[in-house]
Amino acid sequence: MIVYLFVYFSSLPNNQCCRYFDDQTTIVDFVLAYKPQTDSINNERRQKFIDKLTKAGLITEKDASQDDTHYVKINVPDKILKKYCEFMKMKLPMKKLDGQDRIKPKVSPRGTLESMIPNCITKRFNPTKRPHVEYRLLHEYSESKSYLFDEKRGNFFSTGIRIAVVNFILERSSFKEKPSIGSNLFMHWEKKDSNKDSLEEHCACKDNAAEVKYFGIRQLLKAEDEAGEHPFYAAFPLHDGCVKHKDTTRSIRARLLVDWASVKKCLTYQPLDDIKEYFGVKIALYFTWLGFYTAMLAPAALVGFLCLLYGILTFPTNRISKEVCNDSTTIMCPQCDKYCGYWYLNSTCMISKIAYIFDNEATIFFSIFISVWAALYLKLWKRYVSRIQYRWGVLDYCSMAEPPRPEYSARVKNCKRKKYNFYTKIEEPSPSFWTQKLPTVICSYSVVYVLISMTVATVFGIIVYRMSLKTSEKFYGDSATVSGKLIVFPMTTATINLLVSTFLTQLYKKVAKKMTDIEYRRTQTEYNDSLNVKLFLFDFINYYSSIFYIAFLKGKYPGYPKEYNRIFHLRQEECSTGGCMVELTIQLATIMIGKQLIAIIKEYFIPFLKQKYKTLITWYYTNKTEMELPQSSGQWIRDNKLLSWGELSLFKEYLKMVIQYGFITIFAVAFPPASIFALVNNMIETRVDAQKYLQFYKRAVPKRVRNLGMWYKAMQVITKIAVISNAYIIAFSSNITHRLIYMLFVNPTHTDEGFVNHTLAYFNTSHFEAAAHPDPSMYKNITVEICRYAEYRNPPESDNPYERSLLYWKILAIRLALMVIYQNLVGVVQEKKRTTAITYVHMER
């Protein structure tokens, strides 16, 4: 709520903004901003670039503002729009045909869950305040068949299409004398009916990476002269009106701010068609998925809350905690060599109480539920998104139909080898797989794996730090505070891990981008997927490695007092009497909640401060506040003060949510309330993200995508890992399975009475290793003959002292059997179903 209020009161003044050329009829589709300079190099580059835009058919006009910033306003005429829409394979609405109503989807794009959620929980939009969105058939535009398209319909070429076309030309226009790669590419398309199939006359197969810096608006934004100045410092499309226009029928931006970008609307359906119309399919699909994922979190959060409530309500009947707290005679073996003393079992009373709240009979049910929920969520999403894809005309969209990236075109400019593209129906230059593609991929991922190894090494260093801290006399000096220290200790290490992982993330992003740049990725979709895989792989290891250690390795192979398993002569960490579940819960909660707090600061407060800082700087140099601007001031002046979109802006949003999905599913047993925190966070974040994109950031260039890309595959992998992880945690890390085995197969009364004593083995202190024996002088020369430790081993007086007991192997066999049963039980929901959207495609064809 604090974030919401912070953003709510930061709205811009209510001034009428102009989005037209000086003739007040030609609309501005795109704007380039620059500072007047005396440097002839930048002026020459800028003028050449503008000349190339004019030659490509765009209309340009210069404009100077009061803050010493000059702007180049750009408009794309309808004639150019038609050519590029055909070249870019844009799908546009066709004329209404007889029988069209028969193929109209009967299910609204709000999705499969609409019938599952009662109206008392969700609210619809007021239909009287929203324009009706008519369903229209979409098809790839062809200028030769323009009579099939409804060109006379208002807004036939939407603002999003106009922006996308201008951006396409900007990215492929040169600022050199020779023709640009993009121009030649388009010139070839114009002559595609001739016998010339090549993009241009290529000579040798040669890498032309140096050509990249001579064309495209991205290179002009990066180019610097000796004084560090750029030909252009910003390029952006305009927002649709000011943020406080009350007339929602005139401005789609105002409509979205009222109906969507408000925390008060968090229980209202998202206007997906308006979002797609304003931001494009790529961003709209992200919010579509986020809304669906958040809605699916509701049942998971409810069940998680009930499991937590069960642990709290049944806590008074917890016999395990009572046995631990009431036992004042059982002496436990030291947890470190020499400087750690013996301690009483009841010193872990607090931990045993906390452990029961999260580790009880409801744990098994919740783990099975969350695994089934995850598989069901992926299945329902495929059905849900197929209807969205069909409605938005991207169901059969393929990345191979995309034009090549300008950087890729420049690198393969002189490549003689060609390959026929079945989607574009032309031959394209294709670099050699063995001599060009494969070496760059090997080099790229080799560097990636080195950095991932650094992350694993960092986690290993933290583990060694924890083991070394165990030997500190000051840490375990007072046995009366052992229980409290066992809680503070994992919190400090979790905090250190969070800070280190955050630092490594920033370093890795820069390296991953550099490595992806050297690869031969033909389209922007392929490039983004390659970069996303690298970054996700690193973040997966970065955030989950320490948790995996606690869940799967800690306390599993410590040895026993006579013969400990050591690393660098240090004893391995051991779990407390109640297992490692409490520490796993603390680690998970610290990282998950800490990530959300850091994300709030980075994504909401910092953009707010940056945007206000830019406004303050502008006021300082012009001595005029925004309120003093003329009523007809250009929209480009206001938008220029907003923050720019980064290449990884949307990636960060996806990554944050997929990592969150991993926390919820992979470690569901350890922290059932995780889904509750995720639900509340996502409900607020969806609306605040919307407000951030509409108010604090420049308008994004619309992009087309078919689906979530690698993110759906990442969630599939996480779901499969979650099944194995939860099965392992329940069988080996949780205490509940151990208790059930004891009640069913060991205790004749079939209760858990005596369970704590049953899990502790006996050790004769005279059998300690020489370096491991506690120093009696440090503990008032108290003599202890027998101490206990958590293991299933024979007592010292048996024929085979300290060997694994037969009961240990029986319990191990039962645990492995439970893992197999658990995985097969969850696998029942893994069958595939055919999406119903295929029916609509056949009907349309």
CA 182 – CA 84 distance, rounded (Å): 12
- Closest by CA to 279, choosing from 256, 245, 263, 262, is 256
Q: What is the pLDDT of residue 763?
A: 93
Does the pLDDT of residue 101 top 70, yes or no?
Answer: no
What share of the chain in percent tops pLDDT 70? 76
Contact in structure between 270 and 88 (CB atoms under 8 Å): no
Q: Please, are residues 162 and 202 in contact by the beta-carbon 8 Å criterion?
A: no
Q: Which residue has the tokens 């998202």?
A: 270
Look at 464 and 224; give whichever has higher pLDDT: 464
pLDDT per position as a tens digit, 516-533: 888 888 888 888 888 888
How many of the other CB atoms lie within 10 Å of CB of 737? 22
pLDDT of 204 above 60: no
Percent of the chain surpassing pLDDT 90 = 15
> Where do the structural domains in the chain lie, given as residue ranges?
20-277, 280-313+452-717
- The one-letter amino acid code at 378 reads L
CB-count burial class (<10 Å; 0-12, 13-18, 19+) for 65: middle
Token pair belonging to 381: 């999403």
* Residue 284 confidence class, pLDDT cut points 50, 70, 90: very high
pLDDT > 60? residue 323: yes
pLDDT of residue 512: 87
Q: CB–CB of 734/579 below 8 Å?
A: yes
> What pLDDT is recorded for position 778?
57
Question: Torsions phi, psi of 661, nearest 5?
Answer: -60, -40
Predicted local confidence at residue 145, as pLDDT: 83
pLDDT of 746 reads: 86
| Res. 683: pLDDT tops 70 | yes
Tens of pLDDT, residues 115-152: 544 454 445 545 445 555 666 778 888 888 877 887 77
Q: Is the pLDDT of residue 622 over 50?
A: yes
Residue 22 scores a pLDDT above 80: yes
Partners of 643 in the β-ladder: 697
* C-alpha separations of 481 from 474, 475, 756 in Å: 11, 10, 22
Cα distances (Å, whole numbers) of residue 34 to 38, 171, 555, 621, 646? 12, 17, 61, 16, 19
**SS3 readout for 476-526:** CCCHHHHHHHHHHHHHHHHHHHHHHHHHHHHHHHHHHHHHHHCCCCCCHHH
List, as one string, the DSSP characters of 306-349: HHHHHHHHTGGG-HHHHHHHH--SPEEPPSSSSS---EEGGGGH
> Does the pLDDT at position 833 exceed 50?
no
Calculate mean pLDDT across residues 221-230: 68
Average pLDDT, the chain: 78
Return the pLDDT at 371: 87
When pLDDT is cut at 50, 70 and 90, the band that residue 212 belongs to is low
Distance CA 723, CA 720 (A): 5
Task: Give the pLDDT confidence score for residue 627 in this predicted structure.
Answer: 44
Closest of 156, 159, 110, 112 to residue 835, by C-alpha: 112
Tokens for 607, please give them: 């953009």
155: left (phi over 0), alpha (psi -120 to 50) or beta: left
Which DSSP state fits 228?
Answer: S
- Compute the C-alpha angle 27/29/34, nearest 5°: 110
| The two structure tokens encoding residue 182 | 């993009």
- Provide Rg for the chain, Cα atoms: 32
In 3-state terms, what secondary structure has residue 768? coil
Residue 451: pLDDT over 90:
no
Query: What's residue 75's pLDDT?
Result: 93
β-bridge partners, 60: 74
pLDDT of residue 282: 92
User: Residue 59's pLDDT is what?
Assistant: 92
Q: Which pTM does this prediction carry?
A: 0.83
